[in-house]
Amino acid sequence: MKRGEIFGFLGPNGAGKTTAVKMLLGLARPNSGDAAILGQPLNSLKARHITGYLPELFRYQEWLTAREVCRWHAALLRIDAAKRTSHIDDILQRVGLGERADERVGTFSKGMQQRLGLGVALLGEPQLIVLDEPTSALDPVGRADVRALLPQLKAKGATIFLNSHLLAEVEAVCDRVAVIDRGSLIATGSLDELLGHLALRISFVELGESLRRNLSARGAAFDGGSTAIFGHIDESAVPALITDLVQNGAAIKAVQPIRRTLEERFLELLKEE
């Protein structure tokens, strides 16, 4: 992982995603090997200080209020007592629990408990935030909230490790991803690297002979009707291409980028394995 990126960690059930996360956080012991968290030795107190974690199985003391749960974790993190109250208020607002801060966790729905877990993970503004299936219990609004929150955290300098089954979610927010299967890494890279090059489909109102020649010269293929397909095109070249075609009198009906989804690529990778 690189500092300051949102890193997606993917794999089928039983691939070892949660086990890997648990080893990074000192919840499980590795048989062999070593790792470092932002340069700090695994399991060192320093590494733990700079890491926030939302477990897949999130459970907090149901007899405490959301604010008390945060206060207790804040005390463990040695957050300055003078700033603690305002920091906790801010965190609870950000995860949508501002109005319910003084209610007992036992009265919370699963989704609210997951929001609390996210809040606990954000306490102390950790440099690394490890989120294990952070939206598994959330409704569509909650998922959208989390998707919006992650880039904000990244903008503040946090590095985010996202372990999720929801590939569309990973595709929407992650800079780079890794795919593991049966405990081994089978692919890693940026989304562009992993999903391959962009293809482009351009539909015209009418595809005349001169326009067809023009498009052929640029490497397009045709589907037999009035649609041209660029099998491999640099994403940055698309605006200039469209402008040029329009200036040459082409009547464009639709421009459709074509790229494999992360889900398609993910299934391909598993099949290859």
Partner 1 sequence: MIGNILLVASLIWREATRRRLLPTVAIFSLVLIGATAWGLNRIATFHNPSGHTISHYELTVLTSVLVVMMAFMFCIIVSLVSAFLGALSMGVEIENGILLAIVPRPLRRFEIVLGKLLGNIFLMAAYTIVIGAIELAVVRGVTGYVPPHPVVALLYLTGVGAVTLLITMCLSVRVSAVAAGFAAIVLFGLARIAGFADTIASALNNTAVQQASLIVSLVVPSDGLWRGAAFALEPAAMVGLGGAVQRGNPFIALAPPTYAYLAWSAAWAIAFVIATIALFARRDL
Q: Which residue ranges make up the site for partner 1 (CB under 8 A)?
A: 22, 25-29, 45, 48-49, 51, 53, 55, 57-61, 63-64, 72-73, 75-78, 117, 120
Q: How near is the Cβ of 90 to partner 1 at its closest, in Å?
A: 20
Between residues 138 and 198, which has the closer beta carbon with respect to partner 1? 138
DSSP 224: S
Lookup: tokens for 6: 């949102």
Which of 136, 129, 90 shows the shortest CA–CA distance to 113? 136
Pick the closer one to partner 1 by CB: 7 or 60: 60
Q: Which CB atom, from 59 or from 271, has the smaller least distance to partner 1?
A: 59
Is 198 in a helix, a strand, or coil?
A: strand
Instruction: Give which of 233, 227, 228, 171 is closest to 199, Cα–Cα.
Output: 233
Query: Smaller CB distance to partner 1: residue 78 or 213?
Result: 78
The distance of closest approach from Cβ of residue 224 to partner 1 in the complex, given in angstroms and rounded to an integer, is 57
Rounded to a whole number of angstroms, the minimum distance from the CB of residue 69 to partner 1 is 9
Question: What is the enclosing helix (H) or strand (E) of 36?
Answer: strand 36-37
For residue 204, what is the DSSP state? Answer: E
Structure letter (DSSP) for residue 236: G
For residue 35 the two structure tokens come to 């790792």
- Nearest-approach distance from CB 50 to partner 1, in angstroms: 9
Shortest Å distance, C-beta 112 to partner 1: 15
What is the distance between the alpha carbons of residues 9 and 46, in angstroms, rounded to a whole number? 24
Q: Closer to partner 1 by CB, 55 or 142: give it.
A: 55
